[in-house]
């Protein structure tokens, strides 16, 4: 009897102590939760709410916002400019990020793998310089290079070739090249870290068995860094989908709608046409595209991140 009372007392004391520790932990975490609530969850909730309203910066709707259901989305999908911006966004994403930055970053990492330190430092510094340069500066650099009187046409003139109107005749190609130049360093760094974790013993064993370079890359290296490939694709996809400054400063989304991606179309709708509700609805479509691509990468590669 006495033993049972003693055990019950100990249990109550342990529960009481655990309760005090939980309360103390909750009090320590309270400021973090408040900051997340104010600066993260609340803006997300407002974005979803505004997407279903007619809120605007001017006019009657700015004073009396009304819930309009799916009207913004039905208007969006019947708008040819929206459909064109979606196509431009997908083309820009596939060419500049998924193919350009991904493939070029992997090639650079493979070329630098196991090279001498001075070589890696020089090449790495040159590539990373493009990555750390602010987007607006990158836009001016490429405008100076691709404009009608720019460096590219000066170099073509040395070869006797007529100037090319890069920014008006090939606007999408111009912004794709600029984004590849700007973002390739990130992929290169990811793959450098991943290649460093591939055991040399496996590569050496494959060489002894007669596997040449392409076979070792395709059958050993790529499968072993598959999780890094997927992680990199998700990150550069989300970063590229939200890219605004580089394209807007370089071409302004034009000529016409030739380079008008979803972020630029969203900006035009929200701050040029003053339709904030319509603009926030476009942002949800942009978010949905990012989720679809990210889930697709994970499902196709069968990687657990």
Q: Mapping DSSP to helix (H, G, I), strand (E, B) and coil, where does residue 156 land?
A: helix
Distance between start and end Cα atoms, the chain: 54
Tokens 């600066």 label which residue? Answer: 39
Question: Which residue would you say has higher pLDDT here, 303 or 167?
Answer: 167
Q: What pLDDT, on a 0 to 100 scale, did the predictor assign at position 305?
A: 58
Phi/psi of residue 117, nearest 5 degrees: -60, -40
Q: What pLDDT, on a 0 to 100 scale, did the predictor assign at position 196?
A: 84
Overall pTM surpassing 0.85 (yes/no): no
Q: Mapping DSSP to helix (H, G, I), strand (E, B) and coil, where does residue 274 land?
A: coil
Asked if pLDDT for residue 1 goes beyond 70, the answer is no
Rounded CA-CA distance 110/114 in Å is 9
Tens-digit pLDDT profile for residues 52-69: 998 888 877 777 888 888
Q: What pLDDT, on a 0 to 100 scale, did the predictor assign at position 26?
A: 82
- Helix ranges (DSSP H) in 197-252: 200-208, 213-216, 222-224, 226-241, 245-250
How far is residue 170 from each of residues 61, 87, 147, 259, 284, measured CA to CA in Å? Answer: 40, 16, 11, 10, 30
% the chain with pLDDT above 90? 33
Q: What pLDDT, on a 0 to 100 scale, did the predictor assign at position 298?
A: 82
Closest CA to 51 of 292, 283, 288: 283
Confidence class for position 193, pLDDT limits 50, 70, 90: confident
Tens-digit pLDDT profile for residues 82-112: 999 999 999 999 999 888 999 999 998 888 8
- The counts of H helices and E strands in the chain are 18, 0
- Of the ranges 105-119, 169-183, 256-270, which one carries the lowest mean pLDDT score? 105-119
Averaged pLDDT for residues 260-281: 91
Rounded CA-CA distance 105/102 in Å is 5
Rounded CA-CA distance 134/22 in Å is 45
Inter-residue contact 303 to 82 (CB < 8 Å):
no
Rounded CA-CA distance 128/71 in Å is 45
Tens-digit pLDDT profile for residues 108-167: 888 888 777 777 777 777 788 888 889 999 999 999 999 888 899 999 999 988 889 999
Asked if pLDDT for residue 251 goes beyond 80, the answer is yes
Confidence class for position 177, pLDDT limits 50, 70, 90: very high
Query: Residue 180: exposed, middle, or buried by beta-carbon count in 10 A (0-12, 13-18, 19+)?
Result: buried
Buried b (16+ CB within 10 A) or exposed e, 247-273: bbbbbebeeebbbbbbbbbbbbbbeee
Q: What pLDDT, on a 0 to 100 scale, did the predictor assign at position 3?
A: 63
Asked if pLDDT for residue 188 goes beyond 70, the answer is yes
Confidence class for position 25, pLDDT limits 50, 70, 90: confident
Helix axes 135-146, 151-158, angle to 10 degrees: 30
């Amino acid at each position: 009897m006495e033993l049972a009372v003693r055990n019950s007392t100990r249990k109550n004391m342990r529960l009481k102590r655990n309760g005090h520790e939980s309360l103390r932990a909750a009090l320590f975490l309270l400021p973090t939760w408040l900051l997340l609530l104010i600066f993260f969850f609340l803006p997300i909730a407002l974005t979803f709410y505004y997407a279903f309203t007619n809120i605007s910066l001017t006019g009657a709707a700015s004073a009396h916002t009304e819930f309009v259901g799916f009207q913004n989305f039905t208007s969006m999908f019947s708008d040819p400019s929206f459909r064109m911006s979606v196509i431009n966004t997908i083309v820009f994403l596939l060419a500049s990020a998924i193919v350009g930055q991904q493939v070029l970053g992997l090639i650079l990492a493979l070329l630098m793998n196991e090279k001498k330190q001075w070589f890696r430092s020089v090449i790495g510094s040159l590539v990373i310089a493009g990555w750390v340069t602010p987007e607006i500066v990158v836009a001016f650099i490429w405008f100076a290079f691709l404009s009608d009187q720019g460096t590219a046409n000066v170099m073509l003139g040395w070869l006797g070739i007529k100037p090319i109107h890069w920014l008006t005749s090939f606007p999408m190609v111009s912004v794709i090249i600029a984004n590849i130049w700007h973002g390739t360093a990130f992929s290169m760094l990811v793959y450098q870290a991943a290649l460093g974790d591939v055991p040399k013993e496996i590569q050496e064993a494959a060489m002894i068995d007669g596997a040449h370079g392409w076979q070792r890359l395709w059958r050993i290296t790529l499968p072993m860094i598959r999780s890094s490939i997927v992680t990199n694709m998700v990150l550069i996809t989300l970063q590229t989908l939200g890219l605004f400054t580089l394209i807007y400063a370089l071409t302004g989304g034009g000529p016409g709608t030739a380079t008008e991606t979803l972020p630029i179309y969203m900006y035009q709708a929200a701050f040029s046409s003053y339709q904030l509700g319509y603009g926030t609805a476009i942002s949800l479509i942009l978010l949905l595209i990012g989720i679809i691509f990210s889930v697709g990468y994970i499902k196709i590669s069968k990687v657990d991140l």
